[in-house]
């Protein structure tokens, strides 16, 4: 019987066909994968380049440095610091009072004034260095107070200042105009004085280089379990050109704490007043979320003294109780008495209180209260302890006298 040689050939062709199909599918999959990760057509329009005008309500004051550029007369351009009187010194105009104005208002006023000397003057004004910011924060934060933030140098200042000015800026004390000095160290220029802390942030945000609501909360010691983060009130000055006075807004910081969304972490201006209301019911999740968001510290420092084994400064968890301090500093010494607490309250009053401490009491109770940063805790002597020390104090000289007499008789 003749063998059928077509069978191996058919098998070979079938395997080859399957291989071609597999490779075709693989290439299609790769091509599909490339489509998944390919960039979509841009929907950004030229209007995206327009200024967000974040500083439209920024009020000029002492410490601000202005970059004033005259379009057609560059010899009048320069950098000018607003002095303690709220003035800058300008060529032709000399001393000019600018405190209380916005950038837009100052631009319009200067263009009108310079129209007396120039034909159709056009100016560009930018803030090269921002004045220190003073912000008042009250309510449910751990250390309500007036906070002073250092001056902030604009992140875009390097593109605004001429190359000759990048080496060093010297402020002329007589006319308040900034001049350059090529011999000085460039590390002192505002271009290089941006906070190194901000430069090392691992997560970039649009407001990393400005003072925001979250910065103020951090400086005030963080939130409490009663902080109403949904109704934070901010009061701000209204520019003179808009009638002056104050305006008020309510900010919800919940998305920032839970999801690191910086949308409502608004920029603060000098003179802002912040008030965080108190919740009617304690919310423990606020502390946990605020720690993860970096708004509250993980630990606080408390000072312990008196009849305790290891007195000194001790760190305990935020909203830690007296029992945490006692556990870390060791047991009380024999004949010790009550625990005495000294604290500055949030309203500025001073608290002095004796506590009948009990290690078995629940945290937050009268016998085991929560502590706050800066608390002073001392373990007092008991009545028996004070009596024994008094007896010791009286008996030591008498014993010494008898011992001295016995020593004399011996000799």
Q: Which fold has domain 65-131+156-192?
A: wza like fold (3.30.1950)
* pLDDT by position in tens, the chain (length 411): 444 555 665 565 555 555 555 555 544 544 444 455 455 666 677 776 766 777 888 999 999 999 999 998 999 999 999 999 999 999 889 899 999 999 999 999 999 999 998 999 999 999 999 999 999 999 999 999 999 998 765 444 444 444 334 443 444 434 444 444 444 333 333 333 333 434 344 444 555 557 899 999 999 999 999 999 999 999 999 998 888 899 999 999 999 999 989 899 999 999 999 999 999 999 989 999 999 999 999 999 999 999 999 999 999 999 899 999 999 998 888 878 889 999 998 888 999 999 999 989 999 999 999 999 999 999 988 655 555 555 555 656 665 666 656 656 666
What local confidence, expressed as pLDDT, does residue 411 receive? 61
Predicted local confidence at residue 69, as pLDDT: 95
pLDDT value at residue 222: 94
Task: Tokens for 155, please give them.
Answer: 């992140």
**Contact indicator for 365, 356 with CB cutoff of 8 Å:** no
Intrachain domains 209-292 and 299-384 with the same fold:
yes
**Is 379:337 a contact under the CB 8 Å cutoff?**
yes
DSSP secondary-structure letter at 225? T
Count how many residues are written for the chain. Answer: 411
Q: Is the pTM of this model over 0.75?
A: no
Choices 3.40.640.10, 3.20.20.140, 1.10.3720.10, 3.10.560.10: CATH for 209-292: 3.10.560.10
What is the per-residue pLDDT for 166? 43
- CATH (residue range 299-384): 3.10.560.10
Q: Are 304 and 328 in contact (CB under 8 A)?
A: no
How far apart, in whole angstroms, are the C-alpha atoms of residue 181 and residue 106?
28
pLDDT of residue 331: 84
Ranges of each domain in the chain: 65-131+156-192, 209-292, 299-384
Q: Give the closest residue to 107 by CA, choosing from 58, 63, 152, 52.
A: 58
């Amino acid at each position: 019987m003749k063998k059928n040689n077509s069978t191996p050939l058919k098998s070979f062709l079938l395997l080859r066909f399957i291989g071609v199909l597999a490779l075709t599918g693989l290439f299609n999959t790769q091509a599909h994968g490339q489509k998944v990760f390919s960039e979509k057509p841009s929907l950004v329009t030229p209007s995206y380049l327009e200024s967000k005008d974040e500083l439209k309500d920024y009020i000029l004051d002492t410490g601000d440095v202005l970059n004033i550029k005259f379009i057609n007369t560059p010899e009048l351009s320069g950098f000018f610091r607003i002095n303690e009187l709220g003035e800058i010194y300008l060529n032709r105009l000399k001393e000019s009072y600018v405190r209380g104005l916005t950038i837009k208002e100052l631009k319009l006023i200067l263009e009108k004034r310079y129209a007396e000397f120039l034909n159709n003057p056009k100016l560009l004004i930018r803030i090269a260095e921002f004045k220190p910011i003073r912000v008042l924060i009250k309510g449910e934060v751990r250390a309500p107070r007036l906070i002073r933030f250092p001056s902030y140098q604009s992140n875009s200042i390097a593109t605004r200042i001429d190359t000759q000015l990048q080496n060093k800026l010297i402020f002329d004390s007589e006319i308040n105009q900034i001049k350059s000095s090529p011999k000085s160290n460039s590390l002192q220029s505002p271009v290089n004085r941006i906070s190194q802390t901000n430069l090392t942030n691992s997560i970039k945000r649009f407001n990393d280089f400005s003072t925001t609501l979250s910065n103020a909360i951090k400086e005030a010691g963080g939130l409490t379990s009663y902080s109403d983060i949904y109704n934070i009130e901010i009061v701000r000055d209204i520019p003179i050109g808009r009638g002056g006075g104050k305006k008020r807004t309510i900010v919800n910081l919940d998305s920032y704490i839970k999801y690191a969304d910086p949308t409502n972490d608004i920029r603060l201006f000098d003179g802002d007043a912040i008030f965080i209301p108190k919740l009617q019911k304690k919310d423990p999740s606020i502390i946990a979320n605020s720690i993860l968001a970096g708004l509250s510290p993980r630990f606080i420092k408390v000072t312990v003294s008196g009849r305790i084994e290891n007195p000194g400064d001790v760190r305990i968890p935020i909203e830690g109780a007296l029992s945490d301090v006692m556990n870390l500093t060791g047991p009380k010494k024999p004949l010790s008495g009550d625990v005495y607490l000294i604290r500055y309250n949030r309203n500025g009053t001073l608290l002095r209180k004796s506590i009948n401490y009990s290690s078995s009491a629940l945290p937050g109770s009268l016998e085991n209260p929560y502590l706050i940063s800066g608390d002073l805790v001392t373990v007092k002597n008991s009545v028996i302890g004070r009596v024994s020390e008094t007896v010791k104090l009286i008996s030591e000289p008498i014993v010494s006298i008898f011992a001295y007499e016995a020593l004399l008789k011996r000799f």
